[in-house]
Structure 1
Amino acid sequence: MNTLLNSLMTELRRGTLTLAVLSQLQEPQYGYSLVRSLEEAGIIIEQSTLYPLLRRLEKQELVTSYWDTSESRPRKYYTLSEYGKEIYEQLKEEWLINSKHLRDMLKGGNKDEID
């Protein structure tokens, strides 16, 4: 894949990953469970991408975290804050509207091309 295409694909994916992660944090999840739930939905995310994203979302006060030390291996759980829930709903609505318009544009003259 050429460098320009790779860069553009990374840029396109960045915003969608944020929305995907927020969508999975309605209930508390730890990193590995989050990676698995995203993969089950067809979204591949490396841990080296996920953890910096979670830290950024926490810094932006969209996500909160806490440690569960009740099991032999402590786990850090992440969940949407109240503010994060509001932002997620707004982003989701914007995504649904934009993706519908973009899908219609990409279909162009051949409506069977993208379903």
Structure 2
Amino acid sequence: MQLAATSGLASLVLFGIAVALLALLAGGFWMNSRIKYREPPRPRPEEQPKLPPEGPVREIRENRESQEVPVTPKGGRPLTPYELSNMDSRPSASKERPRWSRGSSGSFGGGGLGAH
């Protein structure tokens, strides 16, 4: 009978846990308001970014080609990665767009039949 009876101590512990959770939640709101108060105000409409005088920036489409990797002389040692320069690219003289070979998807594992 005593095991089946409700204990006043158990309900008191549950009430204490509920109060602690509410205090934690209220503390989170208080901390958030303090942080937001220290932030700078949002920009006004006149402070928003404006378009350049010449209008919106347009896309430039050009073909790029990379620099050639230096050829190792016959019998010489291969170059290590730190001996190579930063392999920049430069504008290509050709205006023709490069195309993949016929029947190829152009990427590894792209699902195409590949070049046969």
TM-score, normalising length: structure 2? 0.23
Structure number with the bigger relative contact order (C-alpha 8 A, sep ≥ 6) is 1
Bigger fraction of residues in helix: 1
For normalisation by structure 1, the TM-score amounts to 0.23
Q: Which of the pair has more CA radius of gyration?
A: 2
